[in-house]
């Protein structure tokens, strides 16, 4: 799906970290890695952390997430986004997706925040997720959330290298989280980064990330901290990866273009790629995603005012989404797997996850439908042209024969 590419550049950096003796765990590669990423994304401050989840968690703590507060977020995401909210004791409130790229339905997110605030709830943040490497509709979101007085935390775990409106993913809102997990666009084996122009936010997160040590000659603590820093050795690996980030993105784009050319006549569409709503959006092509038999979603595209079902605590939660009914995505994943090709389901929406069954959600049915019809294709820069051709012929066979 998304195998990491490491080589000579990474070896050089990691060896330097080891030979310099800076393994304890911070050091000059951490500082340089923070500077280089901040510069690349165009933000003032960066904090290297042990994971993207940690970056989300610390940003939320700084924004005041705690028991009794709410955080509104994309439902279609990896569980880490929602888990970070739950760590703080705040309650997650999920918002459905738009059909064309699977990113959060911006109008619905603003509606959710407005509704909760009208009910007297303390909404401390909203987290849109840049799904599969495509930035959300930030101009509308930033303006709308600013008007409502709710900070925007960008989950850019999947979108380093993407752009919108001439701005880089990771630079939107009050703060953003990046992930350098092994399967992401670039990796430190495991790691993440918190980005912001707000010096106080990053300074506070920096303190929290090292067990909240006060500047005293002894260990003095006035708040509960975490052990969340990235090590110097892994930051060195990240600097090697960053040197070749543009090449890896170019290869992923090339792979996506090959799929697009090969599948032009099949009854499927690409998530994100064909969205004509913005021609100033540039994905990082992290994972290429197709939606099978897209007519249902297509119909909805012209009807933004779909029924908005709101689920709250009192609602009876059905055992929805856990049934073993076979969907178009299930069939394709199984058929490709039988040919040793890794094709995966999209993120199962959080409002359909048993663990979040009692959390409030503003839903339209779009993310559930995308989950049933969407799959991600092998997209890693290490794939050979022969392997891509194998994927293309296997997928063409499956889709045309069913």
Ligand X SMILES: *Cc1c(COP(=O)(O)O)cnc(C)c1O
In the complex, least distance from residue 187 CB atom to ligand X, rounded to whole angstroms: 9
Q: Which among 14-22, 47-55, 306-314, 315-323 is the span making contact with ligand X, rule CB under 6 A?
A: 47-55
Closest CA to 383 of 191, 253, 189, 283: 253
On the question of a cis peptide bond just before residue 25, with omega within 30 degrees of 0, the verdict is: yes
Closest CA to 45 of 55, 35, 53: 35
Let me know if 314 is exposed, middle or buried by CB neighbors in 10 A (0-12, 13-18, 19+): exposed
In the complex, least distance from residue 222 CB atom to ligand X, rounded to whole angstroms: 27
- Cα-based distances in Å from 343 to 182, 290, 329, 332, 381: 18, 10, 9, 8, 16
In the complex, least distance from residue 191 CB atom to ligand X, rounded to whole angstroms: 7
* C-beta of residue 240 within 8 angstroms of C-beta of residue 6: yes
Question: Which of 52, 144, 349, 378 contacts ligand X by CB under 6 A?
Answer: 52
Question: Residue 106 or residue 230: which is nearer to ligand X going by CB?
Answer: 230
Question: According to CB under 6 A, which residues from 120 to 139 bind ligand X?
Answer: 129
Q: Which among 72-80, 252-260, 304-312, 364-372 is the span making contact with ligand X, rule CB under 6 A?
A: 72-80
Round to whole Å and give the CA distance between 288 and 256: 6
Question: Which of 181, 284, 288, 372 contacts ligand X by CB under 6 A?
Answer: 181
Q: Which among 29-37, 74-82, 96-104, 295-303 is the span making contact with ligand X, rule CB under 6 A?
A: 74-82
In the complex, least distance from residue 307 CB atom to ligand X, rounded to whole angstroms: 27
Buried b (16+ CB within 10 A) or exposed e, 114-131: ebbeeeebebbbbbbbbb
Using the rule CB under 6 A, is 174 a contact of ligand X? no
Question: Residue 158 or residue 369: which is nearer to ligand X going by CB?
Answer: 158
Question: Which of 155, 198, 283, 368 contacts ligand X by CB under 6 A?
Answer: 155
Using the rule CB under 6 A, is 95 a contact of ligand X? no
Round to whole Å and give the CA distance between 12 and 29: 12
Using the rule CB under 6 A, is 284 a contact of ligand X? no
Round to whole Å and give the CA distance between 90 and 86: 6
Question: Residue 153 or residue 394: which is nearer to ligand X going by CB?
Answer: 153
Q: Which among 4-12, 77-85, 221-229, 302-310 is the span making contact with ligand X, rule CB under 6 A?
A: 77-85
H helix runs in 119-198, sequence order: 138-148
Using the rule CB under 6 A, is 238 a contact of ligand X? no
H helix runs in 153-231, sequence order: 199-209
Round to whole Å and give the CA distance between 45 and 88: 23
For residue 332, give both structure tokens.
């394709």
Q: Which among 34-42, 78-86, 99-107, 201-209 is the span making contact with ligand X, rule CB under 6 A?
A: 78-86
Question: Residue 52 or residue 294: which is nearer to ligand X going by CB?
Answer: 52
The H or E element containing residue 114 is helix 106-118
Interface contacts to ligand X, rule CB under 6 A: 51-53, 77-78, 80-81, 129, 155, 157-158, 179, 181, 192
């Amino acid at each position: 799906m998304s195998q990491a590419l490491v080589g000579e550049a990474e070896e050089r950096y990691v060896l330097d970290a080891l030979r310099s003796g800076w393994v304890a765990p911070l050091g000059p590669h951490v500082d340089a890695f923070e500077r280089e990423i901040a510069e690349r994304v165009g933000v003032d401050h960066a904090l290297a952390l042990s994971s993207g989840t940690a970056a989300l968690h610390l940003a939320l703590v700084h924004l005041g997430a705690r028991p009794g507060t709410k955080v509104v977020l994309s439902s279609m995401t990896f569980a880490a986004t929602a888990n970070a909210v739950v760590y703080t004791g705040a309650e997650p409130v999920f918002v459905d997706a738009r059909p064309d790229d699977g990113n959060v339905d911006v109008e619905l997110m603003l509606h959710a925040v407005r509704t909760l605030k009208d009910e007297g709830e303390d909404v401390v943040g909203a987290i849109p997720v840049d799904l599969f490497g495509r930035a959300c509709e930030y101009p509308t979101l930033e303006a709308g959330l600013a008007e409502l007085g709710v900070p925007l935390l960008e989950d850019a775990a999947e979108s380093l290298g993407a752009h919108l409106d001439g701005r880089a993913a990771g630079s939107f809102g009050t703060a953003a989280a990046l992930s350098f997990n092994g399967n992401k666009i670039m990796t430190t084996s495991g790691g993440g980064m918190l980005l912001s122009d707000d010096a106080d936010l990053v300074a506070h997160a920096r303190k929290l990330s090292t067990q909240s040590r006060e500047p005293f000659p002894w260990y003095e603590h006035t708040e509960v901290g975490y052990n969340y820093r990235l090590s110097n050795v892994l930051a060195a690996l990240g600097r090697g990866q960053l040197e070749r980030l543009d090449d890896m993105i170019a290869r992923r784009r090339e792979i996506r273009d090959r799929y697009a050319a090969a599948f032009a006549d099949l009854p499927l569409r690409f998530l994100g790629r064909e969205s004509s709503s913005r021609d100033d959006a540039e994905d990082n092509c992290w994972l290429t995603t197709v939606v099978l038999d897209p007519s249902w979603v297509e119909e909805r595209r012209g009807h933004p005012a779909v029924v908005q079902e709101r689920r709250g605590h009192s609602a009876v939660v059905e055992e929805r989404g856990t049934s073993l009914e076979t969907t178009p995505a299930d069939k394709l994943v199984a058929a490709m797997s039988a040919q040793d090709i890794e094709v995966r389901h999209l993120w199962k929406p959080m409002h359909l996850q048993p663990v979040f069954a009692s959390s409030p959600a503003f839903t339209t049915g779009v993310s559930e439908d995308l989950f049933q019809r969407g799959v991600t294709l092998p997209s890693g820069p290490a794939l050979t042209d022969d392997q891509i051709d194998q994927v293309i012929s296997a997928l063409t066979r499956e889709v045309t024969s069913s």
